[in-house]
Chain A
Amino acid sequence: MIVEALTRRMNAHPTDSHTMERYLETGGYEAARGAITKTRDELVETVKESGVIGRGGAGFPAGLKWSFLAPARPAYLVVNGDESEPGTFKDRQLLERDPHAMVEGIIIAAVANEVHHAFVYIRGEYPKPARRVQQAVADAYAKGFLGKGIFGGDYDLDVTVHLGAGAYICGEETALLNSLEGRRGEPRLKPPYFPAAKGLYMAPTIVNNVETISNLPYIFGEGVDWYKGLGHEVDTGTFLMSISGHVNKPGNYEVVHGITWRELIYGVAGGIRDGKELKAWVPGGASAPWFVPEEHLDLPITKDETGKQGSMLGSGAVIVMDEDTDMVAAAERLVRFFAEESCGQCTPCREGTTWLDLILQRVLHGGGREQDIDLLMDVSDNISVGLGWPPKQTTICPLGPSAVSATLSLVKHFRHEVEEHIGRGTPVTISGVSS
């Protein structure tokens, strides 16, 4: 079930997979060298054919995104390494252990989109990954793979590594662009500010996730047929899943789509720790509605099937909770994250996430009232009208509705636990965790 493409080099060469020497010795930069001789149309077509979907969370086809780039120039490429979705730590591994794959991917993506200046935006809490990328970029300049006339040709490409400063919302691509312009990381209203039309400095801009970009050397180096042959017929290629919580073997695993949740949790991740029962899991980052074993354990892990079931694969973060988990406490902790990270522009999100958290805290600490469940639903409906999936937004970006996911999942699957907390009416101690 575990495959090796993006992780092959780091698994085979644990001590030096991040170095230029090892990268070149394992075939590195050949794909980029080939790409600079091709046209934009050829390169975009190859990425479209490969079927690779964006790995940042939204799951948008990467080739299609590239094809939307407006004709004005200059255009920019921004790699989104602001990985901050709770449960997600895959980009950190790629940045630390194989930064040259991303740098090579940047060259390919830049040529394909007629970009001469690319940026890598790395979250501020990742200085070590940022240092590794910085070193990789410096080494690529020294080799002539970046800078003036790359690979001895006439194509110029500069890469700037930029560090964030602690704001989850900067993972939203228009917030990231504002941040890169030295502004508050507040998402821009869309339309008209889709980055491919008006992005960095109001110029056409492609924003791609680290993992998406790191796939490119493999797609161009090994070929589209090889890449498609690796994975699921629709969701092609491989997929890094970050598994955390109450499993025996948490970690990042490179898998292909189409395996079941049972295979992932009990096979790949070694099952639930201490022989406990599985209670629920978050299938795709903190923003994703929860899955429960009685309904979802034998479903295949694909974008479509997960969407049909009212959730998403998102950033590939699976957070597993065992039978001892207090689900009100888990929901509160998820909602608190969004309340803390709301940028504050939109009232439904700024106020709504905060009130959801306060109500959940009240329930958790023994002050819950009978009408609190209805109140949770009402506040949620004000953030995401109709409470459907995919969520409708009353806000500029999806952060607010993400807090609704955890709240709705709690009430839908574990309403009795909320009622128990309310009925008990006294503060409780959460197993293993003092609150």
Chain B
Amino acid sequence: MSWSEESLQRADDILARYPEKRSAVMPLLYVAMREDGYLTDDGMRQVAELTGVTPAQVQSTASFYNMYKREPVGKYLVSMCTSISCFLMGADDVLHAIEDEAGIPAGEADDEIGVEHAECIGACGGAPACLVNYELIEGLTPDKAKELVAWLRSAKPDVINADEMQALFGGKTSFDWGIREERGAVGPFPAFGPFGTADVNTDALEPGRST
């Protein structure tokens, strides 16, 4: 049940960033998801061992937050915002388009794609908006959303990059995004090396680099 050397090294680095080990539970749950693709019982036991709390306490924490997925959600998790600002700009139609094209109702997944509705993702000025593996696309339409899903199925990108998706499928943004962000996500969890510094950041890979 033990983690890879890389994950254990990451766990050590994370634990060193906090005055109390228990604070590392949340970042380590992301490491567990990266290790297994989603959050398994073994993964939670490993987090408990590393942080000195009980497996039940880790499960209690994990079950509170909706980004810790207890079941596989596919390689690409599409989270469509349906909160008020996106709703006012037609988000429900976009979600239906995503569900139609993917052939998956919100809340379910196949091996490739998971679809879910999300509460406000902080992209209200570029509504309606969605996340793919937590990387943002703003200014969606139902047609563009269908193209996005079709692209995920056909191009099967190794790295999900927000600027690439925004250029292909997006529209109005909440604000000027500024310079292109080269990094992106490699799985259905946020592309963030959960460390205090950015010198090791293997969750966020540059496009073209394979996992």
Please give the residue numbers on chain A whose beta carbons come within 8 Å of chain B beta carbons, in ascending order. Answer: 10, 14-18, 74, 83-89, 91-93, 96-97, 117, 123-128, 130-131, 134-135, 137-138, 141, 158-168, 179-186, 201, 242-246, 250-252, 282, 286, 317, 319, 321, 325, 329-330, 333-334, 337, 340-341, 343, 432-435
B90: A residues at CB distance < 8 A: 432-433
B195 pairs with A134, CB closer than 8 A? yes
B172: A residues at CB distance < 8 A: 250
Taken together as a complex, chains A and B put the C-alpha atoms of A201 and B83 apart, in Å, by 34
A434 pairs with B93, CB closer than 8 A? yes
Taken together as a complex, chains A and B put the C-alpha atoms of A235 and B204 apart, in Å, by 41
- Given A160-B18, A333-B83, A337-B84, the answer on whether A242 and B193 have CB atoms closer than 8 Å is no
What would 24 A/B residue contacts be, using CB atoms closer than 8 Å?
A: A15-B178, A88-B120, A92-B174, A97-B178, A125-B131, A125-B134, A125-B190, A127-B190, A128-B135, A134-B195, A137-B196, A160-B196, A165-B68, A166-B65, A168-B120, A179-B26, A243-B125, A245-B85, A245-B89, A251-B125, A282-B84, A329-B87, A337-B83, A433-B90
Taken together as a complex, chains A and B put the C-alpha atoms of A18 and B176 apart, in Å, by 13
Does B146 interact with chain A (Cβ within 8 Å)?
no
B65: A residues at CB distance < 8 A: 124, 164-167, 185
Does B56 interact with chain A (Cβ within 8 Å)?
no
Which 7 A-B pairs have CB atoms at the shortest separation, nearest pair first? A182-B25, A165-B65, A244-B124, A127-B190, A166-B67, A244-B85, A138-B197
**Known contacts A15-B178, A89-B122, A137-B197; can you find 6 more A-B pairs with CB under 8 A?**
A124-B67, A179-B26, A182-B25, A252-B175, A330-B88, A337-B120
Interface residues on B, range: 35 or more
Taken together as a complex, chains A and B put the C-alpha atoms of A168 and B122 apart, in Å, by 11
Taken together as a complex, chains A and B put the C-alpha atoms of A165 and B119 apart, in Å, by 13
Does B22 interact with chain A (Cβ within 8 Å)?
yes
B93: A residues at CB distance < 8 A: 432-434
B191: A residues at CB distance < 8 A: 127-128, 131
B153: A residues at CB distance < 8 A: none
Query: B83-124: which have CB < 8 Å to A?
Result: 83-85, 87-90, 92-93, 96, 118-124
Q: How far in angstroms is the closest Cβ of chain A from B129?
A: 10
A167: B residues at CB distance < 8 A: 64-66
A89 pairs with B162, CB closer than 8 A? no
B190 pairs with A163, CB closer than 8 A? yes
A162 pairs with B26, CB closer than 8 A? yes
B67 pairs with A250, CB closer than 8 A? no
Q: Is the interface of A mostly helix, strand, loop or mixed?
A: mixed
Please give the residue numbers on chain B whose beta carbons come within 8 Å of chain A beta carbons, in ascending order. Answer: 17-20, 22-27, 29-30, 51, 53, 60-61, 64-68, 79, 82-85, 87-90, 92-93, 96, 118-127, 131, 134-136, 162, 172, 174-179, 181, 183, 185, 190-199, 201, 204
- Given A250-B124, A252-B125, the answer on whether A134 and B88 have CB atoms closer than 8 Å is no
B198 pairs with A137, CB closer than 8 A? yes
A86: B residues at CB distance < 8 A: 83-85, 119-120, 124
A162: B residues at CB distance < 8 A: 23, 26-27, 194
Taken together as a complex, chains A and B put the C-alpha atoms of A386 and B97 apart, in Å, by 43
Q: How far in angstroms is the closest Cβ of chain A from B20?
A: 6
A165 pairs with B67, CB closer than 8 A? yes
Q: How far in angstroms is the closest Cβ of chain A from B178?
A: 5
B66 pairs with A131, CB closer than 8 A? no
B119 pairs with A168, CB closer than 8 A? yes
B131: A residues at CB distance < 8 A: 125
Q: How far in angstroms is the closest Cβ of chain B from A156?
A: 13
A89 pairs with B24, CB closer than 8 A? no
A319 pairs with B92, CB closer than 8 A? no
B61: A residues at CB distance < 8 A: 182-184
A181 pairs with B85, CB closer than 8 A? no
Taken together as a complex, chains A and B put the C-alpha atoms of A277 and B79 apart, in Å, by 32
| Cβ-neighbour of A251 out of B25, B175, B193, B194 (below 8 A) | B175
A89 pairs with B179, CB closer than 8 A? no
Taken together as a complex, chains A and B put the C-alpha atoms of A65 and B87 apart, in Å, by 36
B124 pairs with A128, CB closer than 8 A? no
B124: A residues at CB distance < 8 A: 86-89, 242, 244-245, 250, 317, 319
Chain B, Cβ-Cβ closest to A340: B119
| Cβ-neighbour of B123 out of A89, A159, A325 (below 8 A) | A89
Taken together as a complex, chains A and B put the C-alpha atoms of A12 and B83 apart, in Å, by 33
